[in-house]
Chains A and B, each alone.
Chain A
Amino acid sequence: MGQQAPTGPELRPDRLSRQNLAGWLYSTPFLALFLTFMAFPIIATLLMSFTDFGLRNVTHPLDARFVGLDNYTALFGDPKFMKALFNTCYFVVLGVPLTIGSGLVAAVLLNSGIDRFRTFFRVGFYVPVVTAIVAVAVIWRFVLDPSEGLIAGLGAQLGFSTPDFLASKALAMPSLIVMAVWRNMGTAMVLFLAGLQAIPVEVREAAKLDGAGAFQEFRRITVPLLRPTMLYVAVMTTIGFLNVFEEPFVMTDGGPGDSTLTVSLHMYKEGFSFFHMGSASAMAYVLFTIVLAVTLLQFRLLKDKTR
Chain B
Amino acid sequence: MARPAKTVTGISVAVAAALSLTACGGGSGAQQSADAKQTLTVWGMGEEAKRLAEVAKDFEKDNPNVTVKVTPIGWDVVGQKMTAAAAAGKLPDMAQMGSTMMGQYIALDVLEPVNTKTFKKSDFFPATWNSNVVDGTAYGVPWYADVRGLYYRTDLAKKAGVDKAPVTWADHHALAEAYKKNGAQYGTALQPGNTGAWQSWLQFLYSEGGSLTDADGKSALGSPEAVKAFETWGSYFKDGLAKKNFVPGADVAKTFAKGEEPTFMSGPWMVQNLNEQQPQLKGKWKTAPLPAGPKGSVSWVGGASLVTFKDSEHKAAAEKFTQYLTTPETQAAWYGATKSLPANKAAYDRPEIKDSAEADSLKVFRGALDTGKEIPALEKWNEIAAAIEGTLEKIAQGGDPATEAKKLQATTEGLISR
Contact status B18-A59, CB under 8 Å: yes
B9 interface residue, CB < 8 Å from A?
yes
Q: Which stretch (A12-20, A23-31, A115-123, A252-260) binds chain B?
A: A252-260
B239 CB, min distance to chain A CBs, angstroms: 19
Q: Hey, which chain B residues are within 8 Å of A244, CB to CB?
A: 1, 4
A-B contact count (CB 8 A): 141
Give Cα A59–Cα B194 distance, bound, in whole angstroms. Answer: 30
Cβ contacts under 8 Å, A284 to chain B: 7-8, 11
Known: A38-B9, A253-B194, A257-B393. Is A275-B83 also a contact (CB below 8 A)? yes
Please count how many residues in chain A sit with their CB below 8 Å of the partner chain's CB atoms.
55
Contact partner of A141 (CB less than 8 A), chosen from B11, B13, B108, B248, is: B248
Fill in one digit per residue for B201-242: 1 if any A CB lies within 8 Å of its CB, else 0: 000000000000000000000000000000000000000000
List residues 229-247 of chain A with CB under 8 A from any CB of chain B: 240-241, 243-246
B 281-304 binary contact with A (CB < 8 Å = 1; else 0)? 000000000000000000000000
Interface of B is mostly: helix
For the complex formed, measure the closest distance between the CB of B281 and the CB atoms of chain A, giving whole angstroms.
Answer: 18
| A245 lies within 8 A of B247 (CB) | no
Asked if B11 contacts A48 (CB within 8 A), the reply is yes
Contact of A274 among B15, B193, B254, B383 (CB under 8 A): B383
| Residues 254 to 269 of chain B near chain A (Cβ within 8 Å) | 254-255, 260
Contact A56 B4 (CB under 8 A): no
| A179-234 interface (Cβ within 8 A of B) | 180, 184
- C-alpha gap A238/B49 in the complex (Å): 41
Q: Is the CB of A255 within 8 A of B194?
A: yes
**Interfacial chain B residues near A58, Cβ < 8 Å:** 14, 18, 83, 86-87, 108
CB pair B15–A55 under 8 Å, yes or no, is: no
Q: In the assembled complex, which residues on chain A have CB atoms less than 8 Å from the CB atom of B260?
A: 147
Q: Would you call B4 and A42 a contact (CB within 8 A)?
A: no
Complex: how many Å from CA A74 to CA B123?
49
Contact B109 A167 (CB under 8 A): no
Tell me whether B248 and A40 are in contact (CB under 8 A).
Answer: no
Q: Which of B19-27, B133-141, B320-328, B352-360 sits within the interface?
A: B19-27
Q: Closest CB-CB distance, B124 to chain A, in whole Å?
A: 28
A277 within 8 A of B: yes
Q: With a CB–CB cut-off of 8 A, which chain B residues contact A53?
A: 15
- Beyond A42-B12, A184-B1, list 13 extra A-B contacts (CB 8 Å): A42-B8, A44-B16, A45-B15, A53-B15, A58-B86, A147-B260, A164-B245, A167-B247, A264-B3, A268-B4, A273-B382, A274-B386, A287-B4
